[in-house]
Homo-oligomer: A and B are copies of this chain.
Amino acid sequence: MKLATYKDGTRDGQLVVVSRDLSTAHYATGIATRMQQALDDWGFIAPQLQDLYETLNNGKARHAFPLDPALCMAPLPRAYQRLTGTAYASHATLLGGEDADLVVHQAASDQLLGAQDHVLCANENLGVDFSAEIAVITGDVPMGASADDALEGIRLVMLSNSITLRNVAHPVQNQPAASFSPVAVTLDELGDAWDNGCLHIAVQVAWNGRKVGMCDAGTDMTHHFGQIVAHASKTRALRAGTVVSSGTVSNAGFEKNGKTEWPKGYSCIAEKRAMETALDGKVTTEFMKFADTVRIEAKGKDGQSVFGAIEQELVPLNA
């Protein structure tokens, strides 16, 4: 099924069920009002949401309304935990990291932005960079879970734009609020595209309307989501509603005429700049400026948008 959270002026918004084609939605009132509530008691609540989802898809939900992605908060607007992994070794390699080992960090989750919320920044010279990522939301994961067990704990999948300020050295300060696709989907919606903790889908990235990235999120995923979640739960349990981000989706380059080329474009500007350095010896692409836009979307085999699109503009604070 597909779930979203509608803006209603509160910090947690209202849980809605969204039709498979993203055209219509229906409040989950009477089942659960907030996404965290569903995650806290998934075994009991998810089947009821699934029933509503099927009714909605059959055109028989009585109070369905057209889905407006601009009214979507992040599917989970605030989370008790967010973790980010380094799932794509090719991204680390490109950015000069010599270590392809999995590293997982705690990240901010007190405010997760909606798909069309502005990215606010006080200063456009901080090296503002987008990053197209896959993110999952887990249920409870016990301490010491295996990678297989951890996979069983994954409830929902989303797209994410994890903004990084590349010119800011301090941790915390270099990671403003991250943003998420309008819709979060259960694994069964992904069919064959979800395979052993990897999502085999092309992540389309457009910057100021120009297509810049088309990386496949599955092909070169070095550490799958089961491994990332198991890594994070090695010494403590993870509680329901933990958001886990993959890190920048990236494809490995290939050798051509003695040079490495990256044919699928880039999911963050830092990668583009690293490619320029590698190929031309100098950087020509600048980071984002105010009024710049970024669009992130992924389509299924049927050509339909799976999660809806993230479409954001970089806006000065107090503009």
| Cβ-defined contact, B121 with A235, below 8 A | yes
Contact bitstring A61-89, B, C-beta under 8 A = 1, else 0:
00000000000000000111101000000
Q: Which residues of B contact A104 (CB under 8 A)?
A: 170-173
A312 to chain B, nearest CB (A): 15
Contact bitstring A165-196, B, C-beta under 8 A = 1, else 0:
10010111111110000000000000000000
Q: Which residues of B contact A171 (CB under 8 A)?
A: 103-106
| Cβ-defined contact, A173 with B235, below 8 A | yes
* A120 contacts B by Cβ under 8 Å: yes
A154 to chain B, nearest CB (A): 15
| Cβ-defined contact, A317 with B121, below 8 A | no
Question: A80-B80, A83-B172, A106-B171 in contact; A165/B111 too (CB < 8 A)?
Answer: no
- Pick out which of these stretches binds chain B: A213-221, A236-244, A264-272: A236-244
How far, in angstroms, from A257 to B173 measured CA to CA in the complex?
43
Contact bitstring A32-45, B, C-beta under 8 A = 1, else 0:
00000000100000
How far, in angstroms, from A126 to B103 measured CA to CA in the complex?
19
Within the complex, which residue of B105, B110, B173, B232 is in contact with A80, where a contact is CB–CB below 8 Å?
B110
| Cβ-defined contact, A81 with B108, below 8 A | yes
| Cβ-defined contact, B81 with A235, below 8 A | no
Q: Which residues of B contact A143 (CB under 8 A)?
A: 120, 122, 317
Q: Which residues of B contact A253 (CB under 8 A)?
A: none
Within the complex, which residue of B79, B109, B176 is in contact with A235, where a contact is CB–CB below 8 Å?
B176
Instruction: With a 10 A CB-CB cut-off, give which of A40, A232, A238, A239 has the most chain B CB atoms.
Output: A239
Question: A81-B109, A105-B171, A170-B104 in contact; A239/B11 too (CB < 8 A)?
Answer: yes
* A144 contacts B by Cβ under 8 Å: yes
| Cβ-defined contact, B235 with A144, below 8 A | no
| Cβ-defined contact, A236 with B111, below 8 A | yes
How far, in angstroms, from A289 to B211 measured CA to CA in the complex?
56
Q: Known pairs A103-B170, A122-B143, A144-B317. 7 more at Cβ < 8 A? A: A104-B171, A105-B106, A106-B108, A110-B242, A120-B236, A173-B234, A177-B237
28 contacts between A and B (CB under 8 A): A11-B240, A78-B80, A79-B80, A80-B80, A81-B108, A103-B170, A104-B170, A104-B173, A105-B172, A106-B106, A106-B107, A106-B171, A110-B238, A110-B239, A110-B241, A110-B242, A111-B236, A111-B237, A120-B143, A122-B144, A144-B317, A165-B235, A170-B231, A170-B234, A173-B235, A176-B236, A177-B236, A177-B237
